[in-house]
Amino acid sequence: MHLVKAKVFDNSDRCEVTSMKKNFSSSELFELRNAIPMDMLIKDGLRIPSKVSDDVFRFLCPICNEFQTSVNPATNLARCFRCEKNFNTIDLVMSVRRSGFKESILFLKQMLGKVPNQDASQALNAFTAEIGQMPGGLK
Q: pLDDT tens, 70-127? A: 999 999 999 999 999 999 999 999 999 999 999 999 999 999 887 665 554 455 555 5
Start-to-end CA span in the chain (Å): 46
- The domains found in the chain, sorted by start residue, are 24-113 (3.90.580.10)
Q: How many CB atoms lie within 10 A of CB 14?
A: 8
- pTM, full prediction: 0.66
129-137 long-range contacts (CB < 8 A, ≥24 apart) are 130/73, 130/74, 131/74, 133/55, 135/55
